[in-house]
Structure formats: C-alpha cells, structure tokens
Amino acid sequence: MKKKTVQSILYQSFCLLIGLMTIAPILYAVSLSFMEQREILTKGIHLLPDKIQWKNYKEALRLTHLVRYMLNSLILAGGSSVIRVAVAGLAAFSFAFFDFKGKNVLFMLCMSTMMIPGDVVLITNYKTVADLGLTDTYFGMMSMFLVSVMNIFMFRQYYLTFSMEIYEASKVDGCGNFIFFIKILFPLSKPVTATVFISSFVSTWNTYLWPMIVTNKDTMRTVQVGVTMLNSRDGGTIYGPIMAASVMVLVPTVIIFILFQKQIAGGMMAGSVKG
C-alpha cells in the first residue's frame, strides 16, 4: 500500500513537471514581463526577475492604445458571439422542430460551408466589406464571425434531445412557435448556449488575420493586431513592454479557458461527432 502511494506521488509529480514544461512559454513570458531590460539582455540563463516591477506594463500602456484595443476586441468578440448564438439557435430550432420541404438539402447546404476555408475567400470578402464602406467599423470586423455552421450543428444536436411533449403541450396551450423558442426552449438550453458563446468568444478574441486586414486606423485595432504592431515600432528592442502587452492580452482568454474548460471541451466534442 505504501509503495503504491509513493509511486502515485512520483507519477503525479512527473505529470505536473511535464505540465509546467508544456506551458513554459507562457510562464517565461510572464517572467520576462517583470524583468528590467538589462536582465532580459543578460548573457546567462535568467529565468526569474530579480524583483517584481510594473515598469514594462506602464510602458506598454503608454506606447499603445492597449485599453482601446481591449475594448475593440471585447466588442468584436462579444458582439459576434451574441449574434452567433441568436442566428445559430434560431436555425437549429427550425432544423430540429419542424419538418418541411427541402429540409435535408438546406441542412447539407449549410454543412457544406465547412468545406470552404475562410482564408481562401479572404480577398473577395474583403472586397465586399470594402465596397459596403465597412472597413474600420465594428460591423466590418464582425462580419466574418457572425454565423458558424458548427454552432448550428451543436444547437441542433442539443435541441433534438429536447422533450417533444413539452413542445406539444405548449402548442396546446396556444403558445406560438417563436414564443416557445424564446420563452421555453432557449432558457432551458443554457449549457449549449454557454458552450457556443464561450468558445466563439475565445476564438474571436484570438483571431488575427481578418481584423488586421479590415482595419487601418490605429484606434480600431484589436489586441491581437495591436500587440504585433508594438513589435515593429522600435525594431523589436523593447522586449519587456512587448511581453507585458502579450501577458495582458493572453490573461483574459487563459482565465476564461480555465474557468470554463468543461464547456469549451464539451462543445468541441459535440461538434466533432458526425451526425
């Protein structure tokens, strides 16, 4: 018995060590963000800062509109996630609760968008958004992330398990379909809604290419674009502030991920099951 406990402790320590190695780049970035320039430039291996100081953070905030970038990213990620939930939920409601002509064809049509990678149609979409005068606007930035077929699929899978009796009973009580969706189905489907919202929030917050292409004004940049701009500003010599900015950008998603791992993981698995 005792040998087993020792073995288990050793095994867990080993796993934790591997875990630390896996996230070492993140830990190192945090450590660098607290170092003085001379500590970063030192010849030897210097893993931890001599003392915690916030100079790099102040400098990062002074050099960029990081607070504004945060706000932009929040609007982009929050706004498009809300729209995603609404549009996907509604479409899934139709696919799960109604029987109508062409339903399977329409569903396959939606699913076929998975075969068209967003980056392949990037330029044409940029042209569309530019022609509509939507560059440097929040709507232009969100336009690429408003609907995901994966979300429709996830909602549909969840709705298909919903009790038909409740639906029929509410009909008998004279409740219209839309009212049923808003008042009954949607509130009773919080887990799937949370999964869709959180996973699309994290992925939109982390997205780089599209927001970079549709924004030119500095005040409209997202955090992901802003943090790379800091790089080119002084020829990449201001490592401390760059790492401080990076840490400020990664902390929100890392915290969301740690808090809501179950929802995010559950959502991914649900999405991968072929229906």
Partner 1 sequence: MKKSRKIEPYLYILPALLYFTVFSFYPFLKTIGLTFFTVNANGQVKAFAGFDNYIHVLTDTAFLRSVWNTLVYVVLASPLAIFIALILAVLANKKTRTSAVYETMFSLTMAMSMSVTAMIFKIMYNPNIGLINKLLHVKINWLNDPEIAMVSVSLISVWLNIGFNFLFLLAAIRGVPGELLESANIDGANLYQKVRSVILPLISPTVFFLICSSLAKNIIMAGLPIILTEGGPKGSTSTMIYYMYKQAFGNMSYNDAYAAAVITFLFTLIAMLVSFSFEKKGVHYS
Three-state SS sequence of 183-227 = HHHCHHHHHHHHHHHHHHHHHHHCCCHHHHHHCCCHHHCCHHHHH
Tell me how far apart the alpha carbons of residues 1 and 88 are, in angstroms, rounded to a whole number.
53
- Contact between 185 and partner 1 (CB under 8 A)? no
Q: Which lies closer to partner 1 via its Cβ, residue 40 or residue 63? A: 40
Q: Select the residue interacting with partner 1 from 63, 70, 146, 182 (CB under 8 A).
A: 146
- Contact between 157 and partner 1 (CB under 8 A)? no
122 contacts 210 by C-beta, under 8 angstroms:
yes
- Contact between 179 and partner 1 (CB under 8 A)? no
180 contacts 168 by C-beta, under 8 angstroms:
no
CB of 72 to partner 1, least distance (A): 14
Residue with tokens 């020829």: 235
63 contacts 233 by C-beta, under 8 angstroms:
yes
Residues 29-58 that bind partner 1 (CB under 8 A): 29, 32, 40-42, 44-45
- # residues near partner 1 by CB under 8 A: 89
- Contact between 103 and partner 1 (CB under 8 A)? yes
Q: Select the residue interacting with partner 1 from 142, 150, 198, 249 (CB under 8 A).
A: 249
Q: How far is CA 231 from CA 26, 80, 209, 227, 259, in A?
A: 18, 28, 16, 7, 31
- Contact between 28 and partner 1 (CB under 8 A)? yes
CB of 58 to partner 1, least distance (A): 19
- Contact between 74 and partner 1 (CB under 8 A)? no
Rg (CA), the chain: 24
- Contact between 261 and partner 1 (CB under 8 A)? yes
CB of 178 to partner 1, least distance (A): 8
The window from 53-61, 134-142, 146-154, 182-190 that contacts partner 1 (CB under 8 A) reads 146-154
Q: Which lies closer to partner 1 via its Cβ, residue 103 or residue 183? A: 103
- Contact between 191 and partner 1 (CB under 8 A)? no
- Residue 120 has which token pair? 């392949």
Main-chain phi, psi angles of 46, to 5 degrees: -130, 100
- Contact between 82 and partner 1 (CB under 8 A)? no
Question: Quick count: other Cβ atoms within 10 Å of Cβ 109?
Answer: 11
